[in-house]
């Protein structure tokens, strides 16, 4: 089956966004907003957007299995909006605060031997979740966009083929973001 010019253009846009978004986020981590104190109220908000996204994704799958395409589409659009909101809030927070170290109970930016001993093997779990969350959050971008565009174009057979991969990836990224937040939150400075 030949791709239409519109599909080719959409695929080019998806490819560009899939590269530009992670690079822009990485670049923005080097930016500090002068005169703005740490916006410590943001992490629970952006973690909540991930939690709600997880719930919306599950309900979206339930709705499509029930044959309710309209509700499925609304839930997916809401999940996409929340994912973008998460990203914006995450970047703004990190533009106002230094990275929090897992296990840094005295908030000095160094996890010393006693702190390492106190967190024990939880550090391995945290860093595994964090690493997979970050890597899969990059990988999921083109999956979400392609899946959405295929449905928008009415190409439902191709949509279903990729959605079976997109759903678990996106759900893992959203849910692991919540777990990462819950694990790191005790180490945020007051």
pLDDT digits (tens, 9 = 90+) for 75-132: 999 999 999 999 999 999 988 888 899 999 998 989 999 999 999 999 999 999 999 9
Handedness of CA 25, 31, 35, 37 (dihedral sign): positive
What pLDDT does 28 receive? Answer: 82
What pLDDT does 31 receive? Answer: 84
Higher-confidence position of 186 and 99: 186
What pLDDT does 132 receive? Answer: 98
What pLDDT does 3 receive? Answer: 63
Give the burial class of 71: count Cβ atoms within 10 A of its Cβ; 0-12 exposed, 13-18 middle, 19 or more buried. middle
Indicate the pTM of the whole model. Answer: 0.91
CATH number of the domain that residue 138 is part of: 1.20.120
In the chain, the number of structural domains is 1
What pLDDT does 5 receive? Answer: 84
Q: Is the pLDDT of residue 37 over 90?
A: no
Please give the angle made by the CA atoms of 72, 22 and 50, to the nearest 5 degrees: 40
What pLDDT does 2 receive? Answer: 58
What pLDDT does 88 receive? Answer: 92
- Domain limits at 136? 5-187
What pLDDT does 6 receive? Answer: 86
What pLDDT does 186 receive? Answer: 93
Q: Is the pLDDT of residue 159 over 60?
A: yes
Q: Is the pLDDT of residue 145 over 60?
A: yes
Higher-confidence position of 75 and 25: 75
Q: At 189, is the secondary structure helix, strand, or coil?
A: coil
Mean per-residue pLDDT, 22-31: 87
Average pLDDT, the chain: 93
From residue 4, alpha-carbon distances to 11, 52, 106 in Å are: 11, 36, 59
Structure tokens at 175: 């849910």
Q: Is the pLDDT of residue 1 over 60?
A: no
Structure tokens at 120: 């024990």
Residue-wise DSSP of 2-67: PPPHHHHHHHHHHHHHHHHHHHHHHHHTT---TT----TTHHHHHHHHHHHHHHHHHHHHHHHHTT
Mean per-residue pLDDT, 9-23: 93
């Amino acid at each position: 089956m030949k791709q239409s010019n519109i599909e080719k253009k959409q695929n080019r846009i998806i490819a560009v966004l899939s590269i530009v978004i992670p690079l822009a986020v990485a670049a923005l981590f080097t930016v500090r907003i002068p005169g703005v104190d740490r916006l410590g109220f943001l992490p629970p908000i952006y973690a909540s957007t991930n939690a709600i996204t997880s719930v919306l994704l599950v309900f979206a799958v339930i709705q499509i299995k029930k044959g309710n395409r309209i509700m499925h589409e609304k839930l997916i659009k809401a999940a996409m909006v929340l994912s973008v909101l998460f990203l914006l809030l995450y970047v703004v927070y990190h533009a106002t605060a230094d990275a929090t170290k897992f296990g840094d109970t005295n908030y000095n930016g160094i996890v010393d031997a006693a702190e390492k001993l106190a967190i024990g093997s939880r550090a391995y779990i945290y860093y595994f979740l964090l690493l997979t969350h970050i890597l899969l959050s990059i990988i999921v971008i083109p999956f979400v966009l392609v899946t959405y565009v295929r449905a928008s174009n009415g190409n439902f057979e191709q949509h279903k083929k990729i959605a079976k991969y997109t759903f678990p990836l996106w759900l893992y990224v959203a849910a692991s973001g919540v777990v990462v937040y819950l694990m790191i939150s005790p180490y945020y400075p007051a």
